[in-house]
Amino acid sequence: MAVTGMTRTNGLKKALPLLLPAYGWLTLAIFLPLSAMVYFSLLTTMSSTTPSLTLANYAAFFSDPLYAVLLLRSVKLALLVMMICVVIGFPAAYVLAKIFKGRAREAIFLIVILPFWSNSLVRVFSWSMVLREGGILDVVLNAILPFKVSVDLMYSYPAVVIGLVHSYLPYMVLTCYLSLQAIDDALIDAARSLGASRTTILRRVIAPLALPGVLAGSALIFIPVIGSFMEPRILGGRGGTLYGTVIEDQFTAVYNWPLGAALSFILLAVVLAILLAAAPVLRKAA
């Protein structure tokens, strides 16, 4: 035991020089901006030459019920997008990991990661060309159907959901693919040879072993979606007003950085609280 501990300590000492650049960069890129945002959130105003500290920016969240309503709406949107990504992404990842091989797998991988090759702003505006009245979807449906229909999903809640699912679905597919790829096919064959049905194999073998990938993908989707502002702003219009768009307005339109910083930290606290509350349940499920 002592020899093992000494070996591990020596290994950490040798790896420390390799870890320092990464952790140094993380300190500069994350903790210093966060520290600056904490300071901004406590200021009365950004224009004062003699700044004074206050908690009024945090109190504004609790004094105006609109902020809580928008935050709850953002949480519901994040959960909805996450669930849709699970329903669509897990079967796609299973087909990719266990059914397709060779060239077919490479082609599907290309389709999955294709959204990452384009700018996020371009992706959102491309959906506006599809979902608006007279857009691609409207033209295609009227060309196929024998009767005339009018499809105009722009500036609506479904348009926001579609745009967010398109942006974040690859995260779910890729994380689930890694978990499914690590499952030994011999386990599935053994369950099948023992008479287990496909449903039983999925429920008792595949789903538990793939759960880490599902949880990782869910976290990668839920956290950014709850604070998203670009898709709701472009695809949702006035109906797409969410907590993230209000924060964006404080920085870009109203120039009230202290309130925007305070609202951002309240969002961070809510996300951490949700993750901490879900941790025991997820640990038990795993």
Residue 230 lies in a domain: yes
State whether 138 and 23 are in the same domain. no
- Are 103 and 142 in the same domain? yes
Residues 108 and 181 in one domain: yes
Residue 195 lies in a domain: yes
Q: Report pLDDT for 46.
A: 74
**248 and 200 part of one domain:** yes
Q: Identify whether residues 40 and 75 lie together within a single domain.
A: no
The SS3 call for residue 145 is: coil
The total number of residues written for the chain in this structure? 286
* 133 and 233 both lie in a single domain: yes
Residue 59 lies in a domain: no
**183: nearest Cα among 93, 270, 84, 247:** 93
Check whether residue 174 and residue 78 sit in a common domain.
Answer: yes
Same domain, 34 and 141: no
pTM: 0.85
Torsion, Cα of 204, 208, 209, 212 (10° steps): 170
Q: Do 81 and 30 lie in a common domain?
A: no
- The domain that contains 144 carries what CATH number? 1.10.3720.10
Whether 71 is in a domain gets the answer yes
Residue 4's Cα: distance from chain center in Å? Answer: 40
**How much is the pLDDT for 245?**
93
> Residue 2: inside a domain, yes or no?
no
Q: What is the pLDDT of residue 83?
A: 96
Give, in order, the Cα–Cα distances in Å from 1 to each of 7, 9, 12, 15, 127: 10, 12, 17, 21, 60
Domain that holds residue 91: 64-285
Same-domain check for residues 168 and 34: no
Shared domain for 91 and 37, answered yes or no, is no
Q: How many CB atoms lie within 10 A of CB 217?
A: 28
Q: What is the mean pLDDT of each run of 10 residues along the chain (286 residues)?
A: 56 71 81 86 78 88 93 95 95 87 79 79 87 84 83 88 92 91 86 86 87 90 93 87 92 89 93 85 64
pLDDT of amino acid 151: 80
The answer as to whether 278 is a domain residue is yes
Looking at residue 3, what is its pLDDT?
Answer: 47
- Report the distance separating Cα 267 and Cα 74, nearest Å: 10
Rounded to an integer, what distance in angstroms lies between the CA atom of residue 167 and that of residue 228? 11
Based on the fold, state whether residues 24 and 69 are members of the same structural domain: no
- Two structure tokens written together for 82: 């996450």
Q: Which of 165, 131, 163 is nearest to 231 (CA)?
A: 163
For residue 3, tell me if it sits in a domain.
no
Q: Which two tokens stand for residue 206?
A: 């595949």
Q: How far apart are CA 196 and CA 198, in angstroms?
A: 7
Tally of domains in the chain: 2
In a domain, 8, yes or no: no
